[in-house]
Amino acid sequence: MITSRNAKSHLVGNQNPIIWTEIKNNKYSFNPVLRQLGFDSDTLYDKILKSHPNPTASHVVIEVGCFRLDQSMAASALGFRTLSLDASPLNFQKMKEQFERLPDEQKSRMELYPKAVSDKSGKILEFASIGGTGDHAVGVHIDQGNAKYVNNRDKAVVQVETVALDDLIMSSSSTISSVFLLKVDVQGHEASVFRGLSKSIKGGKIRYILFEYWVDALDQASKQDFGSCTAVKDILIPLVDAGYDLFDLSVSAHPKAGTKVTHAYTQRYYRPLDFKANCHWFASRGAADRKAMVNNGEEPYTMGYWTDILAVYKGELMIV
């Protein structure tokens, strides 16, 4: 069993005293144990759900940026109450079709919302939607498939109402006293999601937060240059200050990264642990690939690399 309290000493400190010293002396750093074990987001999501000894409808799982309903369905099948949100009308329609095929008993624990999660409720967000995994808030355009959105702009860009998770969690009608697991994957829009979640984070209402960490897209969504590392101050530091331990996972890249780039996604062990240094590591590899492929006369690989982060709030049990 791995717990948030024993991970540093048992699985990091005993193997590498240098890493243990860096974690101990710098609270704004990642614990790399899950990275070293090769965990990806999907595997970890499943293990966290199954770590709960007796999930019921009073235990809540929230998924933001679902694409499809599969992971929410897995949680509700175990007994959790689920809230599933997606801003893409085409993706949401597919989610509804999945939902309608479920048994009534399972559907009674599930709530679906066709809204864009952001920093404030009741606003309008422009959203690029073609029904793909890359559907995103307008303003991020480094996706390798971005041409599909540009070429279909008249059909792809829709206006979607926003909701802040604080409002959803704290509203009297939703009756949510705490959240067991929150999963967020919104293609660079994560900083806005977290700004709309600040009260719940400071209040320790969420036990586990699993979210995509794509530094280039996060900077672009904030209208800053690549390598600005805006998410360090906007997301990571506030989580630590609120009492969360942060674990980074395996590195991911788009298939179009190909075999001629740096293969950074295979390097589980040697990324910096310090938040800013870690961000610059990701940004520098994306920049190097864009430059190298242009110099070689190839189509530039624009997306860079990303990982996922698990934030654990002062809890004992993590995964089994």
Instruction: Tell me the per-residue pLDDT of 159-182, one tens digit each, with 9 for 90 and over.
Output: 999 999 999 998 856 678 899 999
- Count the domains in the chain: 1
Compute the mean pLDDT over every residue in the chain, rounded to the nearest whole number. 85
Return the SS3 of 215: helix
The two structure tokens encoding residue 319: 């995964």
For position 9, what pLDDT does the model report? 44
Task: State the pLDDT confidence band at 14, using cuts at 50, 70 and 90.
Answer: very low
Look at strands 307-313 and 206-213 and give their pairing: antiparallel
Q: Please say if the pLDDT value at position 217 is more than 70.
A: yes
The two structure tokens encoding residue 149: 């959105």
| Contact criterion met (CB below 8 Å) for 212 and 221 | no
**Residue 303 belongs to domain with CATH number:** 3.40.50.150
133: containing domain: 2-319
d(C-alpha 2, C-alpha 22), whole Å: 20
Q: Which residue has the higher pLDDT, 190 or 302?
A: 190
d(C-alpha 117, C-alpha 63), whole Å: 10
Task: State the pLDDT confidence band at 154, using cuts at 50, 70 and 90.
Answer: low
Instruction: Tell me the per-residue pLDDT of 223-277, one tens digit each, with 9 for 90 and over.
Output: 999 999 999 999 999 999 999 999 999 888 877 776 555 555 555 557 899 999 9
Residue 252: CB atoms within 10 Å:
18
d(C-alpha 145, C-alpha 254), whole Å: 10
| Contact criterion met (CB below 8 Å) for 249 and 44 | yes
Report the b/e string of 133-149 with b at 16+ CB within 10 A: ebbbbbebebbbebeeb
Signed CA dihedral, 68, 73, 76, 78: sign only: negative
Q: Please say if the pLDDT value at position 126 is more than 80.
A: yes
Instruction: Tell me the per-residue pLDDT of 41-86, one tens digit each, with 9 for 90 and over.
Output: 999 999 999 999 999 999 999 999 999 999 999 999 999 999 999 9
Q: What angle do CA 289, 291, 292 make, to 5 degrees?
A: 65
